[in-house]
Chains A and B, each alone.
Chain A
Amino acid sequence: MFAARTLFAFSCLVLLALIMLPSGAQAQSADADNGEVVYFERCVGCHGDEGDGLGPAAERLNPPPRDFTLGQYKFKTTGFDDIVPNDVDLIRMIRDGMPGTAMPGWSDVLSDQEILDLVAYIKIFAALDEETPSDQVDYGSQIATSPESIAKGRELFLQDDRCAECHGQEGRGDAIKKLKDDNGERTWPRNLTKPWTFRASNAPKDIFSRISVGIPGTQMPSFADPVSKKKLTIEERWHVANYVASLAETKKVVAPEKTVIKALKVSDALPTSPEDALWQTAESATFFLVPQIIAEQRFFMPSNDTVTVRALFDDETLALLVEWDDRTKSIPGDAKAESIANAEMSEDAIAVQFPVTIPSGMEKPYFLMGDAANPVNLWHWSSGSTEAPETVSLMDASGAETLAAREAAPAGMAGEGVYRDGTWRVVLRRALTTGDAENDTQFAEGTLIPVSIFAWDGSNSEVGSKHTLTTWYWLRLGAPGGGSSYIAAIIVALSVGALELWWLYSVRRRRVAGQT
């Protein structure tokens, strides 16, 4: 009897709680006035007093801060022909931020309530506060990923250049046409092999949303739109989403603890071609490329974001394979390349920086092309034009303004680059030692050698001081476990053993002496 009553009371409580929960969530109404306060504290710097995105950094950011007065949101899950976003779409972008843009996630400094208030406030800029979405993305039923689904997705991706037209055959965003958003701002199609640069995620459901809605304001279209010649059914969109999700190249994720490029010694001939299979035996290291926003003629809108390096050497030569995704093969004079490029096009280029003298202490040359007391060498490669082939040169610098090129061949240096499906692969080789320690870096096995990299995307107006760069990292020639280390180990083990025997011997002698 008692037990039944308790059970009844308990069930009532649970029921009550269940009723309270959703209404509790509803009660959390948004306060646009508070949103305004938070907006002027946190968002005004980029999105502007008027919500028009014309903050002081607007001209230095690509993509630029969103103009809220247009009411056009890129990452929404309402129907493709419905301009009104869902609140959850905006909440998500504000809370988690938009990777690959200047828009950070705010969840660490703003409460859920404040974010809700902000959404209510920014919708007012385009009078979206009165509107409710009329149409939602229809997800049907999700098709789980499988090799078959991925294969179907790939076919649809390539069919009639549906996605490849902008995202490239292998998805690296190596577009065959120049893209601009509705405001005439240059847009770069996403490199689909780098999902950590997606504004939303690369979960199939997010990709499905993008394919269905498109990215409003940009040239990324909706593939759910019935008038589209390339439209896809729900089922087909799931296959494409599964395919895109499978493109992630995890080798290109930057591992912050990996600061040393390990050069592997080979007994076979060192590869001269970037596509030699031998490169795969060397461990790769990937670094972030940062735009040169430090010294005069700053450069704010980079297109290259990471660079991957491998190194091999033999008794005479050091060879580096430098690999980076670049959406455009910039060959001045080539009509097609020039049609994709920003106004003036230069050659694509890469340079690997070494100190001329390997420092014995902490002090290195200034990371931006050295300084008067600490000169650097730059191994420079550039892609060539329709008139001239690719060039390799050796550059000397003690400060960026002193940069001067000389011929590479006398120092035993050569190189070769190949562009394929949105990736440059460039081999640079030089003799380990030259006769000129005054001007050339001399490489020795076993020491840590500072190294850094500069990159230029010629189609993105990158030339001269306008480039991307890494900070100092390390290069080390030689595999661990040299011969001398186990000789030392054997000597120690043997001498300790000898000491033990001597100890035993002396104990025994003492005992014998004691007995007699």
Chain B
Amino acid sequence: MMLLKMKIPALLRLVLTLVGFWGAFRIVFDVILGELIPASLLTMYMFFVAAGVFMVFTFTEKGTRELLAPIKALVEDPTKKMLRNIVFVIVPLALGAVIWQVSMPSFEAPVELRSIHPAPPSSVKVFGKRFDLRTLKNPYRVLEKEDPEQFSELVAEGAKVYIANCQYCHGDKLDGAGPYAQGLNPTPINFQDIGTIAQLQESFLFWRIATGGPGLPSEAAPWLSSMPVWQNFLTEEEIWQVILFLYDYTGHRPRSFESGESGESGEGH
């Protein structure tokens, strides 16, 4: 009860609130979610929060006066002369140091944000034909119900295509950790992750596999992707088979047109 009655000075309250927000941000985004967003973005969020908090504190004239009271006292109260002198020396030095830090040329590489699942084109020309990606379906998918035996043979064919061509990068566990994955940037997609093929239609995969990295639109940084252009190495049938295998091995289901969802999610992880 005593504590509640004791009034915390407004300036201290402001500082405590900001520290509280910052701590919560760090705990949620860095510790719990494992450095989900880059530090620069976190700084930007914090800036908005600080601006908001400041506005709340200075909403009324009384509030503003209360907030500024200790600062005003520091400058105007002759008994605080010693403290004032100290503060007045430290503040410019600290600001100078911050400027020096910030303007120092850094050796850090820039963060390159690329869209991982960009919107696909409406149609694509591969194998000398034009495919309409809005309606394109895996011709073998119907066999899953109609002829399970033939279907599993096709899956096995897809497995062979995968081991011979894809595992070097995407890994033989389909976890994106093939023997050469570490040397590639961006890293090969982890098909086990529910954020990848589980969110996509088979037509999207067909487009991506047939046209590879160079087939990406510019927001997905096609110049970086080491994903090969598979229409140069595989047949149309082999691509559909390897797609069957990707879903079969991971246990994911492709998105279908019927569910009304499309794979056109443009989020960057």
Footprint of B on A, CB under 8 Å? 45-46, 55-57, 60, 101-102, 104, 106, 108-109, 254, 256, 259-260, 262, 287-291, 293-296, 298, 300, 362-367, 371, 374, 446, 448, 470-474, 476, 478, 480-482, 484-486, 488-490, 492-494, 496-497, 500, 503-504, 507, 511
Contact = CB atoms under 8 A, between A and B. Distances in A.
B223 A507 contact: no
Contact of B107 (A262, A288, A471): A262
Given A471-B224, A485-B100, A493 B172 contact: no
Contact of A476 (B92, B107, B183): B107
Given A288-B182, A364-B224, A366-B223, A496 B100 contact: no
Contacts of B163: 45-46, 55-57
Given A57-B164, A362-B221, A45 B172 contact: yes
Interface stretch (B36-44, B62-70, B133-141, B173-181): B173-181
A357 to B, nearest CB: 13
A55 B159 CA distance: 10
Contact of A488 (B99, B114, B162, B177): B99
B109 A290 contact: no
A480 B218 contact: no
Nearest to A288: B183
Contact of B226 (A367, A474, A478): A367
Contacts of A493: 92-93, 95-96, 99
A497 B232 contact: no
Interface of B: 75-76, 88, 91-93, 95-97, 99-100, 103-110, 112, 114, 159-164, 167-169, 171-173, 175, 177, 179-180, 182-185, 214, 218, 221-224, 226, 228-229, 232-233
A485 B224 contact: no
Contacts, number: 144
A398 B207 CA distance: 25
Given A45-B160, A471-B185, A259 B109 contact: yes
14 contacts: A56-B160, A56-B164, A101-B179, A104-B171, A260-B109, A290-B226, A365-B223, A471-B185, A482-B105, A485-B103, A488-B99, A490-B96, A493-B95, A500-B92
A363 B182 contact: no
Q: Which of A287, A290, A446 has the most chain B CB atoms closer than 10 A to its own CB? A: A290
B172 to A, nearest CB: 6
A342 to B, nearest CB: 20
A341 B2 CA distance: 86
A199 B182 CA distance: 18
B243 to A, nearest CB: 17
Given A366-B223, A497-B92, A489 B159 contact: no
Contacts of B218: 363
A56 B106 CA distance: 48
A448 B111 CA distance: 12
A503 B92 CA distance: 14
Q: Lowest 9 CB-CB distances: which A-B pairs, in order?
A: A288-B183, A493-B96, A489-B100, A45-B163, A496-B92, A290-B183, A485-B103, A56-B164, A56-B160
